[in-house]
Each structure stands twice: as structure tokens, then as C-alpha cells.
């Protein structure tokens, strides 16, 4: 939520928190699973690399598997790596916004 223009919403019900920037989703957390799962947008090549490196990373559940990964937050991935993946997801979504919309994000 510390990201510029980031909002959270529950469009799929109380058990799925969605993170958006300018109404474009960059993250989704399933609150009904233990451990938690988070879906994050990813560059397609990076998505495959993360899946090869980490057992806790799988193709995005109910998402475009080329562009999204599901990360099981079971403690096997360093918190810093998860933060990097959140930042990458946010940056990918912002990079696709129009110039006018990007100006609104950066205020």
C-alpha cells in the first residue's frame, strides 16, 4: 500500500484482497489459504526463472500463466525477494499506463 496510487479492493469477496494502481491489478492475495498465496504480475522470462528457482512459485492460479505467478508465502523465499517481486509487478503495470495516467500516479 506504500506504492504511489496503490489501492486495495475486495471485488471477488471478503477472502481475496486485490491491489491496484489506477484500477489495474498488480497483486492479489487469497486470505483463505494458510500459508497465504499472492499472485503477482511478472515479465514472462522472469516468471519462468522464479518457478525454476523456488518451489513456492507456481504459474498464476486463475491468471494468465505467462504473465502471473502465485507465490506461497511459506517462509522459503526471502522477504526481500517477495518485495522485489511486488515492486516488479507494480512497475510492469505502471509501465503500461498512458502518459496522462502515469502523471496522475506520480502526482
Q: Which domains does the chain have, with CATH numbers?
A: 6-98 (3.90.1150.30)
Q: Return the pLDDT at 71.
A: 97
Tell me the per-residue pLDDT of 52-70, one tens digit each, with 9 for 90 and over: 999 999 999 889 999 999 9
Residue 79 binned pLDDT confidence (cut-offs 50, 70, 90) = very high
pTM attached to this predicted model: 0.90
User: 76: which residues sit within 8 A by CB, 6+ positions away?
Assistant: 54, 55, 56
Cβ(73)–Cβ(82) under 8 Å?
yes
Tell me the per-residue pLDDT of 22-60, one tens digit each, with 9 for 90 and over: 999 999 999 999 999 999 999 999 999 999 999 999 999
Residue 106 binned pLDDT confidence (cut-offs 50, 70, 90) = low
Amino acid at each position: 500500500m506504500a506504492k504511489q496510487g496503490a489501492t486495495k479492493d475486495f471485488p471477488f469477496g471478503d477472502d481475496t484482497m486485490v491491489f491496484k494502481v489506477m484500477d489495474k491489478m498488480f497483486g492479489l492475495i487469497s486470505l483463505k489459504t494458510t500459508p497465504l498465496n499472492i499472485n503477482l504480475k511478472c515479465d514472462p522470462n522472469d516468471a519462468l526463472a522464479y518457478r525454476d528457482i523456488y518451489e513456492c512459485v507456481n504459474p498464476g492460479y486463475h491468471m494468465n500463466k505467462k504473465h502471473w505467478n502465485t507465490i506461497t508465502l511459506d517462509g522459503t523465499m526471502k522477504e526481500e525477494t517477495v518485495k522485489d517481486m511486488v515492486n516488479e509487478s507494480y512497475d510492469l503495470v505502471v509501465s503500461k499506463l498512458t502518459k496522462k495516467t502515469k502523471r496522475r500516479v506520480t502526482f
